Chains A and B, each alone.
Chain A
């Protein structure tokens, strides 16, 4: 009944002023489109959930009757470069931890869509802090843990939330992906040997598929067909590598098989900038405040600025923690990077447009440009200041959070 009334009201609204529920205007003291220079006293107009106009208030008129929000600062919806939210839940109990399955070291057929919980508390937590798009899925802890997806942090079902699935195939090198005692891979060499063997197997499977006619066609192999997508460049291989030696191993393997590599974590990337740039490989950099110990004992607050100066495309991620915090917030991670040499503009890009580009969703999100999704974050001050607040979050023109965070 309520819903029916709503529909009637909506219909009347549409008839009256050609305004829809996904029409919204935001006026702010400063608008950061990211795709272009900041606009003082700016306006963002959203029509039918898409950005219609962005410009100074003197040039962009807000139509009469359009719902209008005010803010000190507006940015594009934030894009989290790499997360496990929706799979690794906030309670950290066996029932809410689906980011890695350890029965086998290589499981490329595990799909993120079969595990992502769009109602998980941490998805809401990120949304309230301005993250509107998240690259999430299978995490660290296995040589090949499974697939990832890119989703909006809004929507009741994974299908409604998803922008891209699968997005990448997640792999990890180094001690974090060693097998249990007595189980392979037991060291780094074995990791590469196992990956190489599996990729060769996938290439043979692909060749058989191509050559096959009729009944000679090989039986469908759900694992190998994902690796065929990797070999064919349809699916990037996301390789978590903290140490320089693991970063270089990933580059070597990518060179050998010609797949699209995206580096993940990359704590020692500052030692390998020439090699990474030469390979044209983007980096989904660890959270700036990630604990600097274990395989990350050489991590630095300054790595983002080093990558930026080296001209390597990168985005900052929220990452994964086995304990606390169960998710980090890229807004705060970028803030610390901004204060450690990266600067404001590059830091903001690293959690908006640059992240969207690496994830291949920059046609939809990442900047305030006409035609893109109406995803915005409203702030009461400098977004990176500890003491500023997110005052509202908009996805597809709808205010999805009014909680002051």
Chain B
């Protein structure tokens, strides 16, 4: 009984820490705010989960906790615009278009992939269902906070909705036996038909003159598509080949969809068309070309070319296609292939935030933004650097000095297991 009380008291502490009543000053680090030039020997001041001040001459409140970060590099938490961590799942094999299905209902918050992503410095991820459907479901933007429920990790928007998009795909992945499409034209035709049907549904539902008894029966799938049609849900569109990319742009233009091109392996062949559309591209670099026919023209200079053309360019892990702990490597390899360094750092952070329409809250170190940042042992683009700490809203969610966290960071015996709060177990077992 006594132990339970002690446990309850101890367990109460993290709650206080979450509210972060006391300011924390991170001093002595090289700050990479992304919104401005690097600051040597700078101070990052955070309070109540938000950034209060960033710079070389920050006045540190007397009651602030000071953390010496000399020799470290601090930058915004990384934003992964396309991930499948948390045992993400979407539509099943029953139909090619399933907008009613939510990835939210599949995510396991204790999944090792989420812990590993924190170890990679990822603080926000767009978790999506797969690309084997024309539309595989609703995606969910997550802060990789520690928590027991998916709601603890989800991002609540000002209107109360949980932030997320819609996952669509074209090309060969969704082309399979009926009822799935067998050709590219059929893929587009199926999608177009669904969007037209949704337009009619959404118009009727929104029509104030239409009496309630003449409204259509509620349709969860069409309801979700209304979000895509009115622009409140961004469409994250898996696509590879140059002609498939242009099909995405065509349909997006027809239905006024807000789209992010995902992967877009051949985007480097149609940069002018993409630039004219204003559509951003989230890229993925792999260590060798190919893997399937529609990725035969892989070009690791793609992020550099897109950036040079003025296209908003981001990165993603597509975890497990690449490991979340190697996300910084995406940016470094883009620099290896010609992308300017500052552009690559933006692509890891603020550009991803813009693609998820969360750039007012995350993506840079600026006063008022969420205190989502990472502490590195050195240059973020060096192979020799490690992520030492990841912080979300003023709370540390990864600490490489902690053996449990270090195991997630490197792998090893048990690193793939689901997460349990070992601190609590140790307290309960009296060790």
Partners in one complex: yes
Taking Cβ atoms with an 8 Å cutoff, the residues of A that contact B are: 89-93, 121-122, 125, 268, 270-271, 289, 291-293, 297-302, 321, 323-329, 332, 335-336, 338-340, 384-389
For A338, the chain B residues whose CB sits under 8 A away are 383-384
Q: List 23 A-B contacts (CB under 8 A).
A: A93-B293, A268-B413, A289-B287, A292-B411, A292-B415, A293-B320, A297-B416, A298-B413, A300-B415, A302-B412, A323-B291, A323-B292, A323-B321, A324-B291, A325-B286, A325-B291, A328-B288, A339-B384, A340-B410, A385-B384, A386-B329, A386-B333, A387-B336
Q: Is B251 part of the binding interface, using a Cβ–Cβ cutoff of 8 Å?
A: no
Chain A proximity of B320: nearest CB distance (Å):
6
Q: Is B326 part of the binding interface, using a Cβ–Cβ cutoff of 8 Å?
A: yes
For B291, the chain A residues whose CB sits under 8 A away are 90, 92, 321, 323-326
A289 in complex: contacting residue of B323, B336, B385, B413, CB < 8 Å: B323
Q: A300-B410, A326-B291, A328-B288 are in contact. Are A91 and B296 (CB under 8 A)?
A: yes
Q: Mark B318-333, 1 if CB is under 8 A from A, else 0.
A: 0011010010010011
Chain B proximity of A174: nearest CB distance (Å):
16
| Residue pair B411, A385 in contact (C-beta under 8 Å) | no
Q: Is B414 part of the binding interface, using a Cβ–Cβ cutoff of 8 Å?
A: yes
Of all chain A residues, which has the CB nearest B290?
Answer: A90
Q: Is B289 part of the binding interface, using a Cβ–Cβ cutoff of 8 Å?
A: yes
Q: Is B194 part of the binding interface, using a Cβ–Cβ cutoff of 8 Å?
A: no
Q: Is B246 part of the binding interface, using a Cβ–Cβ cutoff of 8 Å?
A: no
| Residue pair A387, B335 in contact (C-beta under 8 Å) | yes
User: A385 vs B379: C-alpha distance in the bound complex, in angstroms?
Assistant: 11
Q: Mark B371-384, 1 if CB is under 8 A from A, else 0.
A: 00000000001111
User: A236 vs B326: C-alpha distance in the bound complex, in angstroms?
Assistant: 35
For A340, the chain B residues whose CB sits under 8 A away are 410
User: A255 vs B302: C-alpha distance in the bound complex, in angstroms?
Assistant: 52
Q: Is B399 part of the binding interface, using a Cβ–Cβ cutoff of 8 Å?
A: no
**Chain B 274-324 interface residues, beta-carbon cutoff 8 Å to A:** 286-293, 295-296, 320-321, 323
| Residue pair B326, A91 in contact (C-beta under 8 Å) | no
User: A332 vs B332: C-alpha distance in the bound complex, in angstroms?
Assistant: 12
| Residue pair B293, A91 in contact (C-beta under 8 Å) | yes
| Residue pair B412, A300 in contact (C-beta under 8 Å) | yes
For A323, the chain B residues whose CB sits under 8 A away are 291-292, 321
B288 in complex: contacting residue of A90, A268, A302, A389, CB < 8 Å: A90
Q: A299-B411, A386-B381, A386-B383 are in contact. Are A122 and B332 (CB under 8 A)?
A: no
Chain B proximity of A361: nearest CB distance (Å):
24
User: A328 vs B322: C-alpha distance in the bound complex, in angstroms?
Assistant: 12
Of all chain B residues, which has the CB nearest A125?
Answer: B288
Q: A93-B293, A125-B288 are in contact. Are A291 and B323 (CB under 8 A)?
A: yes
User: A301 vs B292: C-alpha distance in the bound complex, in angstroms?
Assistant: 28
User: A92 vs B411: C-alpha distance in the bound complex, in angstroms?
Assistant: 29
For A93, the chain B residues whose CB sits under 8 A away are 293
User: A286 vs B256: C-alpha distance in the bound complex, in angstroms?
Assistant: 47
| Residue pair A329, B288 in contact (C-beta under 8 Å) | yes
For A328, the chain B residues whose CB sits under 8 A away are 287-288
For B288, the chain A residues whose CB sits under 8 A away are 90, 122, 125, 324-329
Of all chain A residues, which has the CB nearest B385?
Answer: A339
For B336, the chain A residues whose CB sits under 8 A away are 386-389
For A332, the chain B residues whose CB sits under 8 A away are 287
| Residue pair A335, B383 in contact (C-beta under 8 Å) | yes
Of all chain A residues, which has the CB nearest B286?
Answer: A325
| Residue pair B415, A91 in contact (C-beta under 8 Å) | no
| Residue pair B411, A291 in contact (C-beta under 8 Å) | no
